[in-house]
């Protein structure tokens, strides 16, 4: 008996990615690109620079996600779009796929079976997430986009920056356009910085949460999922 309970016809499930569906984050992707340079010397140089920048990224992220984006994405300046897209496939196979949490696909499958539209809302770069979105068979990918001029990255993000409160705004907008009921929708994230995306849906769910989000989830009686625990 194949059960297909489409109980939630006007609902969506919004997923953050880094730390929520996969173990790694955008810095891993950045480091991967840094290692994949045409020459060994350039690879070594970029890798060292990335390693040296990690504390700066961390500090910037603590202060403001906007600052972090400005500093972090500058590292992509001069990279060709073709190359980034091509490397994204390798990035997925080599780095992202082995780091998908064991129960990620199951959660998405349960949500799809319930009839929810599957939407990724991530601050990572769209081209790095496209293979993942395809692999997980989600309906929509909303992610940050790099600005390219003549096929080369300028090191800036196209607006709107997808982070924090903007995620909530994008979700509201998305729900309006697709006639979805946010009160009957789900949001999944691991980080307190995504509190706004949890706050706008009727069914917020903390996934592998950091300490602060775990505490908030307890206070608000939100369910806490651990996708890292094999069934």
Partner 1 sequence: MRAIRPRTRPQSREHVVTIDTDSAPRILFSGENFLLEDLPVGTRVIYPKRPLTGVANPAAAIRYALNHPENMEPLHALLRPGMKVTVAIDDISMPLPVMRTPDVRQLVLEIVCEMLADHGVDDVHLIIALALHRRMTDAEIKRMVGPKIWNEYWPERLYNHDACDPDGMIVVGKTRHGELVELNRRAAESDLVIYVNLNFVPMNGGHKSMGVGLCGYESLKAHHTPKAIVDSNSYMNPPDSAIGHSMNRQGKVIEQAIKVFHIETVLNNRSFDGPLEFLMKNEDDFTESDRLKFSAMKWALDKLPFAARREIFMRTPAAYELIACYAGSCEPVHDKTVTKSFEQYAVEIEGQADILITGIPYVSPYNVNSKALNPLLVQVMALGYYYHMYRRQPVLRDGGVLIITHPCSDKFDPVHHPSYIEFFNRLLPETRDAYVLEQKYQDEFAYNPSYVEMYRRGNAYHGAHPFYMWYWGQRGREKVSRVICVGADNATAPELMGWETADSLAEAIAMARTTMGRSAQITMLHHPPIVISDVM
15 binds partner 1, rule: CB under 8 A? no
231 binds partner 1, rule: CB under 8 A? yes
Applying CB under 8 A, among 33, 57, 76, 186 the residue interacting with partner 1 is 186
69 binds partner 1, rule: CB under 8 A? no
Task: Enumerate residues 198-217 that contact partner 1 by CB under 8 A.
Answer: 203, 205
Residue with tokens 């907008």: 173
For 9, 12, 88, 116, 117, the CA distances from 6, given in Å and listed in that order, are 6, 12, 34, 8, 11
For residues 8 and 184, is the Cβ–Cβ distance under 8 A? Answer: yes
53 sits in which H/E element:
helix 40-63
Determine the Cα–Cα distance for residues 177 and 128; give it in Å rounded to an integer.
Answer: 25
Rg (CA), the chain: 18
Applying CB under 8 A, among 27, 114, 165, 170 the residue interacting with partner 1 is 114
Applying CB under 8 A, among 25, 69, 111, 122 the residue interacting with partner 1 is 111
105 sits in which H/E element:
helix 104-113
The interface region with partner 1, picked from 28-36, 104-112, 141-149, 160-168 by CB under 8 A, is 104-112
- Which of residues 115 and 155 has its CB atom nearest to partner 1 in the complex? 115
26 binds partner 1, rule: CB under 8 A? no
CA 11, chain centre distance (Å): 20
44 binds partner 1, rule: CB under 8 A? no
120 sits in which H/E element:
strand 117-125
The interface region with partner 1, picked from 17-25, 38-46, 120-128, 221-229 by CB under 8 A, is 221-229
Question: Does the bond joining 200 to the residue before it have cis omega, within 30 degrees of 0?
Answer: no
The interface region with partner 1, picked from 58-66, 164-172, 191-199, 222-230 by CB under 8 A, is 222-230
Determine the Cα–Cα distance for residues 160 and 140; give it in Å rounded to an integer.
Answer: 17
The CB-of-226 to partner 1 minimum distance in angstroms stands at: 7
107 binds partner 1, rule: CB under 8 A? yes
- C-alpha distance across the termini of the chain, in Å: 23
The CB-of-190 to partner 1 minimum distance in angstroms stands at: 14
The binding site for partner 1 (CB under 8 A) comprises 1-5, 7-8, 13, 103, 106-107, 110-111, 113-114, 116, 186, 188, 203, 205, 218, 221, 223-226, 229, 231
């Amino acid at each position: 008996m194949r059960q297909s309970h489409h109980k939630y016809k006007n609902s969506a499930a919004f997923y953050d990615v880094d730390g929520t569906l996969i173990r790694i984050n955008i810095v891993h992707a950045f480091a991967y690109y840094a290692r994949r340079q045409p020459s060994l010397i350039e690879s070594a140089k970029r890798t060292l620079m990335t390693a040296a920048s990690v504390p700066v990224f961390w500090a910037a992220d603590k202060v403001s996600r906007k600052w972090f984006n400005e500093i972090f994405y500058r590292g992509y300046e001069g990279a060709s779009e073709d190359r980034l897209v091509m490397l994204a496939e390798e990035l997925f196979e080599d780095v992202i796929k082995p780091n998908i949490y064991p129960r990620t696909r199951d959660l998405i499958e349960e949500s799809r079976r319930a009839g929810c539209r599957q939407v990724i809302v991530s601050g990572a770069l769209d081209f790095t997430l496209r293979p993942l979105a395809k692999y997980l068979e989600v309906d929509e990918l909303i992610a940050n986009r790099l600005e390219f001029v003549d096929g080369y990255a300028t090191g800036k993000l196209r607006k709107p920056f997808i982070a924090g409160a903007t995620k909530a705004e994008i979700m509201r907008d998305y729900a309006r356009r697709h006639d979805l009921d946010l009160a009957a929708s789900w949001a999944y994230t691991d980080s307190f910085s995504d509190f706004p995306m949890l706050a706008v849906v009727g069914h917020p769910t903390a996934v592998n949460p950091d300490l602060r989000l775990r505490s908030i989830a307890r206070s608000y009686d939100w369910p806490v999922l651990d996708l890292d625990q094999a069934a």
